[in-house]
């Protein structure tokens, strides 16, 4: 879950395909994602000042406390229908008897619109950098793009093949705009129109996530039917 690095780092010159399919989204087989967001990873580093917590705490600047103050009204969650951001992890300090002189905040931002992705990313960076004066800390931000957004035409061959295959199996066909990323983001960037197929994921990224056994068989049947449809299209 730290990024789709396999597809990110493969040699794209070896890809020779007219269409692609990724089995990696919620919804029962028959659901397809034709549009998905791009995502940036954002690392915020807050540098405070160390001091002995029991002898002279007033001489220190606690970076963890500064992070808490700034996180209280930082951008978080749903920004609009196609844009989100998330504070995923924080880490800081060294020991309870030392005023914490560092704290790291790990963020992500994502949007199906490239300009919105840039705006929310910059908004997060600006929010923390503007907090330098009020907290007395040195704050830096590093942005690492994970992948870009994509949108496939609803009449693209990949969608047609998957839809016909689903219909032959009696699966209801549904096209959706996704909020998640997958290998399809990279494959689309490489020029291979790739659609994401629903495999029955439910309660994704929670301790209650599951897939019904029936959907595993249905997804496998759908994948085989897509191969047969694609072969007929050649």
| Dist. CA 230–CA 234, nearest whole Å | 7
Q: What phi, psi does 47 have (nearest 5°)?
A: -110, 115
As annotated, the residues of the chain forming the CATH 3.40.630.10 domain(s) are 5-37+149-233
Q: What is the DSSP annotation of 171-224?
A: PPPEEEE-S---HHHHHHHTT--EEEEEEEEBSTTSTT-B--HHHHHHHHHHHH
What pLDDT, on the 0 to 100 scale, is given for residue 149? Answer: 96
What pLDDT, on the 0 to 100 scale, is given for residue 157? Answer: 95
| Sheet order of strands, 102-111 included | 77-80, 83-92, 102-111, 38-47, 138-147
Class in CATH terms, 39-147: alpha beta
What pLDDT, on the 0 to 100 scale, is given for residue 105? Answer: 98
Is the CB of residue 41 less than 8 Å from the CB of residue 106? yes
What pLDDT, on the 0 to 100 scale, is given for residue 225? Answer: 97
Q: Which residues pair with 42 in a beta bridge?
A: 107, 143
Is the CB of residue 141 less than 8 Å from the CB of residue 125? yes
Q: Spell out the per-residue pLDDT of the chain, length 234, in tens.
A: 677 888 999 999 998 999 999 999 999 999 999 999 999 999 999 999 999 999 999 999 999 999 999 999 999 999 999 999 999 999 999 999 999 999 999 999 999 999 999 999 999 999 999 999 999 999 999 999 999 999 999 999 999 999 999 999 999 999 999 999 999 999 999 999 999 999 999 999 899 999 999 999 999 999 999 999 999 887
Q: How many CA atoms lie within 13 A of 115 on its CB side?
A: 0
Q: What is the CATH number of domain 5-37+149-233?
A: 3.40.630.10
| Dist. CA 155–CA 136, nearest whole Å | 55
Euclidean distance between the first and the last CA atom of the chain, given in angstroms as a whole number? 35
What ranges in 28-84 are assigned the alpha helix state H?
63-71
As annotated, the residues of the chain forming the CATH 3.30.70.360 domain(s) are 39-147
β-strand 150-151 against 31-36: which pairing, if any? Answer: antiparallel
């Amino acid at each position: 879950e730290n990024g789709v690095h396999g597809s990110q780092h493969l040699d794209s010159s070896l890809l020779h395909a007219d269409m692609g399919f990724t089995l990696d989204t919620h919804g029962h087989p028959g659901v397809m994602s034709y549009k998905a967001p791009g995502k940036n990873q954002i690392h915020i580093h807050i540098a405070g000042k160390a001091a002995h917590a029991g002898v002279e705490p007033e001489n220190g600047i606690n970076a963890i406390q500064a992070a808490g103050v700034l996180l209280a009204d930082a951008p978080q969650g749903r920004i609009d229908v196609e844009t989100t951001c998330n504070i995923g992890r924080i880490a800081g300090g060294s020991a309870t008897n030392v005023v914490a002189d560092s704290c790291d905040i790990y963020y992500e931002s994502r949007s199906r619109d490239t300009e919105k992705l840039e705006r929310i990313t910059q908004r997060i960076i600006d929010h923390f950098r503007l907090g330098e004066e009020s907290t007395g800390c040195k704050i830096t931000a590093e942005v690492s793009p994970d992948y870009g957004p994509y949108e496939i035409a609803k009449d693209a061959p990949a969608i047609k093949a998957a839809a016909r295959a689903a219909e032959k199996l009696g699966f209801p066909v549904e096209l959706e705009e996704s909020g998640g990323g997958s290998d399809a983001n990279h494959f689309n960037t490489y020029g291979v129109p790739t659609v994401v197929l629903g495999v029955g994921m439910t309660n994704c990224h929670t301790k209650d996530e599951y897939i019904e056994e029936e959907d595993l068989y249905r997804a496998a049947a759908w994948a085989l039917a897509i191969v047969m449809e694609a072969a007929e299209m050649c």
